[in-house]
Amino acid sequence: MRKILHYFLILGTLLFACKKNNITIYDSIDNIYLNYYDNTGVFDTAAVTYSFSSSPGLAKDTIWVPIAISGKRQDKDRQFVLTIVDTATTAEKDKHYEQLKPFYVMPADSGKIHVPVVIRNIDEDLTSKSVALTLRLAGSVDFGVGLPVDLRTKKLIFSNRLERPSWWVFWQAQLGEYSRVTHQLFLISGGKDLVDVSKPNAYLEIPRSLYYLENIRLFVKDPFTWVDRNPQAGYLLTKRSDGTEDYDFYHFASPEIKFYVKFFPQVNGWFFINEAGKQIIM
């Protein structure tokens, strides 16, 4: 009898051990954040910088903002909202950027997406200043805002400003005193970085640099012929309506950004004028 009782005790213990446990299921609302990381894999909270200066004539461009979810993927489309932080933004809507959509969609079964933010280059002041556009992910029916603000906020800083490159000093005798207008015209003519003649084996790059210098020289000397020969570049010369023989040089996609081409009767010729009001002569 004692032996049978022992078996019942063992059986009861086993049955108790096999009792089904309650499993806690993840049912918290998913969150969403800006998926920026640096080269070391650390989350990057620094501002994103951009300059139109490397693409003269470009009227607008798209910055693709990476978005990711914190939570589960679902087999349905979900909406999220990207907003502008007015207190940390100096850019003006329509002038510097295109209005954001009321909401964006995280596709079904997806955990990441890139949102297009279109910035504009129609403000002449961008050649001398930068503007800031600060974005922030807001809450929605499908996503919460439980993550820190830094993970949901990103500042974009952009301009059309050029800075004097280090190689300019070596070629100043050909290019003249540095000006942003001269630099822009150099890029429009197809110019790339000229060689730094202080570096070893610099002589190997001199022929290429001379080629770029000849292109800019011919361009500023006779912009009318350059426009005729390079229609694919998209630049135009339009006579001013002020009764003079002066012209405006600009890209068809951004007519607000003009380069002044002034006529000098003393030499019966036209010259580009830089931001200091001086002739550009090469």
Identify the three-state secondary structure at position 249. Answer: strand
178 and 76 in one domain?
no
As a whole number of angstroms, the longest Cα–Cα distance in the chain is 130
112 and 232 in one domain?
no
Contact 240, 246 (CB under 8 A): yes
Cβ of 108: how many Cβ atoms within 10 Å? 11
212 and 134 in one domain?
no
Residues 6+ apart with CB under 8 A from 111: 68, 69, 73
> Helix, strand, coil % (nearest 5) of the chain?
30, 30, 40
Residue 2, domain member (yes or no) = no
Q: Above 70 in pLDDT, residue 243?
A: yes
pTM: 0.69
What number is the average pLDDT over the span 138-143?
89
Q: Above 50 in pLDDT, residue 5?
A: no
- Identify the weakest region by mean pLDDT among 21-25, 90-94, 141-145, 209-213: 21-25
Q: Above 80 in pLDDT, residue 239?
A: yes
Determine the Cα–Cα distance for residues 258 and 154; give it in Å rounded to an integer. Answer: 32
Q: What's the CA angle centered on 82, arms 150 and 160, to 5 degrees?
A: 80
Looking at 125, 159, 193, the residue that finishes a domain is 159
What is the domain-level CATH number for residue 137? 2.60.40.1740
Q: Which domain holds residue 64?
A: 31-159
What number is the average pLDDT over the span 110-127?
93
Q: Above 50 in pLDDT, residue 115?
A: yes
Residue 19, domain member (yes or no) = no
What pLDDT does 35 receive?
92
Per-residue pLDDT band at 27 (split at 50, 70, 90): low
Residue 135, domain member (yes or no) = yes
192 and 144 in one domain?
no
- Please count the structural domains in the chain: 2
Per-residue tokens: 180: 């942003």
Residue 53, domain member (yes or no) = yes
Cβ of 75: how many Cβ atoms within 10 Å? 6
